[in-house]
Amino acid sequence: MTGEKILYSYTGIFDTPDEVTHAAEEAVKQGYTKFDVNSPYPLHGMNKAMNLPASKLGYVALIFGLSGALGALLSLWWVSAVDYPLVIGGKPFFSFPAYIPVIFEVTVLSAAIATVLAMLFFFFKLPNNAHPLHATDYMKKVSADKYGIVIQAEDPKFDESSIRKFLESVHAKEINAVYWAEEEITHKHKIFEPKFLTFLLVVVIITSGTTYFTLNKLMFMLPFNWMMEQQKQNPQQKSLVFADGHGMRQPVEGTIARGFLPYEFKGQPDLAGERLVNPIPVSKESLQLGQTKFDIYCSPCHGYHGEGDSRLRGQFPNSPSLHSEKVRTWSDGRIFAVLTEGQNVMPSYTTQLTVDERWAVINYVRALQRALNAKESDLQ
């Protein structure tokens, strides 16, 4: 090593724990503060001998543990009672007893991680493999079976001439000087070293790349996409079975749907109006059924009162009012024909309304029409 050597400390070795404890007590008596004791394992009573204040790491554990608990509780409350409440097992949205296990685990996890990280990075300022005591004979001994004391040159009471005498007075053996190494003096913040930053960048790229690939590409490849890509006929999908390639088929010739009743007046609405008679008598049930169905199926275009003032007004060709002279004079059968086959923009409602439901709707429409064009006799 070239250049001037800067003194870091003086070290002394001891053979027994009693000796090193005594040495520590003496060092405190002498007024040294920047000194340390090294031993292969913790020595009972050394903290007292060195006059060390109690460790504050307990507070770190307490604060982070409580924060973890509070954070977990708030998250669980928000998730279960605010963001997407679901009734599970009949229990209330905010079921505190069920949250206790998770809160407990999160508390322990936060406290443990925080305490250890605080200890290593803040209290110890580790990792640090560039300390002057590394790679010395002293370190080899105190890591195995000897005990040592090290007094730093930075200590205000340190005096190179008298330090040797002091160490001899406490029966230290192998009194040596330890110097800073060249790199250790110039060593600065390791965080911003280019090698480390490059390493971080590589890790970020690899992690994000792998995640992207896994979630967006791999999950859609064999065999992970087996549940997604099933060998079954999906709607709109080409069929490999039928000659015309249509997956969606018409019902087989000659079959009829359940509840089907034939309609003989296709394309002849006026004839239907003459021939068809409303089989459903006007009753409370019929009107209520009619109202329900009307509100569901007819009101989007015709409005709730059949006046054509619907929610689709302005976005769709307006439907005519059902209270017009024309519609009022139409027979029930004629209206039935419109519902069955559709008219102009209005589609057929055979798939949404059964035959009986159509007659009930017609009863309701009649009621609406009567409401808007009531005769004086209706008031009695």
Partner 1 sequence: MSTIDYTRELSVLEGKHALRELDDLIAKPLETKPDKKFYIALSITLSMTGLFVLGLALTFYYGIGMWGNNIPVAWAFDIVNFVFWIGIGHAGTLISAILFLFRQKWRTGISRFAEGMTIFAVMTAGLFPLIHLGRPWLSGYLFPYPNQHSVWVNFTSPLLWDVFAVSTYLIVSLIFWYVGLIPDLASLRERTEHKIKKVIYSVFSLGWRFSNRHWHHYEMVYLILAGFATPLVLSVHTIVSFDFAVSVIPGWHTTIFPPYFVAGAVFSGFAMVQNVLIIVRKIFNYEHIITVDTLEKMNKIMLLTGSMIGYAYAMEFFIAWYSGVEAERFAFLNRAMGPYAWAYWIMVTCNVVSPQLFWFKKIRRTIPVMFVIAIFVNIGMWFERFVIIVTSLSRDFLPSSWAYYKPTLVDGMILIGSFGFFFTWILLFTKALPVISMAEVKAVVDGAQPSHKDH
Partner 2 sequence: MISSSVEYQKKELPSKVQTIGLGLLLVGLLIVVLGYLVNPERSAYNNIIGLTFLISIAVGSLFFVAIEFLSGAVWSTPFRRVGEFLSSTVWVLPLLFIPLLLNVNTIFHWTHPAPADKTLIDKAPYLNVNFFIIRVIVFWLVWLLFYYLIIKNSRKQDQTKDQYLTKKNIKLSAIFMPLFAITISFTAIDWLMSIEPHWFSTILGVYYFSGTILAALAVGAIFIVLLNERGFFVKGIHTDSYYSLGALIFAFTNFWAYIAFSQFLLIWYANLPEETFWFLARWEGNWKFFSVGLIIVHFLVPYVGLLSQPSKMNPKRLLFMSGWILFAHYYDLYWLVMPNFFKEGIPFSWIELGFPILIAGLIILVFYYQAKKNNLVPIGDPKLKRGIDFRL
Residues of this chain that interact with partner 1 (CB under 8 A) are 16-18, 21, 36-48, 50, 52, 55, 57-58, 61, 75-76, 79-80, 83-84, 86, 88-89, 91, 95, 98-99, 101-102, 104-106, 108-109, 111-113, 115-116, 119-120, 123-124, 126-131, 133-134, 139-140, 142-145, 219, 223-224, 227
Contact yes or no for 176/138 (Cβ under 8 A): yes
Q: Return the closest-CA partner of residue 224 out of 232, 233, 215.
A: 215
Do 323 and 369 meet the contact criterion of CB atoms below 8 Å apart? yes
How far is it, in rounded angstroms, from Cα 67 to Cα 111?
Answer: 9
Least distance CB 93 / partner 2 (angstroms): 15
Backbone phi, then psi, for 288, in 5-degree steps?
-65, -40
* CB of 97 vs partner 2, minimal distance in Å: 5
All residues at 6 or more sequence positions from 25 whose CB lies less than 8 Å from its CB, including other chains = 49
Close Cβ partners of 152 (under 8 Å, ≥ 6 residues apart): 8, 9, 34, 35, 36, 158
Q: Counting every residue, how long is the chain?
A: 380
Extended strands (E) in the chain: 7-14, 35-38, 147-152, 173-179
Residue 98 as a binder of partner 2 (CB under 8 A): the answer is yes
Q: Which of 31, 41, 44, 251 binds partner 2 (CB under 8 A)?
A: 44
Pick the closer one to partner 2 by CB: 74 or 100: 100
| C-beta closer to partner 1: residue 102 or 345 | 102
Question: Least Å distance between CB 173 and partner 1?
Answer: 16
Vertex 120 angle, CA 119 and 122, to 5°: 70
276-305 mask for partner 2 (x: CB under 8 A)?
------------------------------
Phi-psi region of 352 (alpha: psi -120 to 50; beta: other; left: phi over 0): alpha
Q: How far is the CB of 49 from partner 2 (least distance, A)?
A: 15
Q: Choose, by CB under 8 A, the member of 31, 53, 97, 314 that binds partner 2.
A: 97
143 binds, among partner 2, partner 1, none (CB under 5 to 8 A by kind): partner 1
90 binds, options partner 2, partner 1, none, Cβ within 5 to 8 A by partner type: partner 2
Footprint of partner 2 (CB under 8 A): 44, 58, 89-90, 97-98, 100
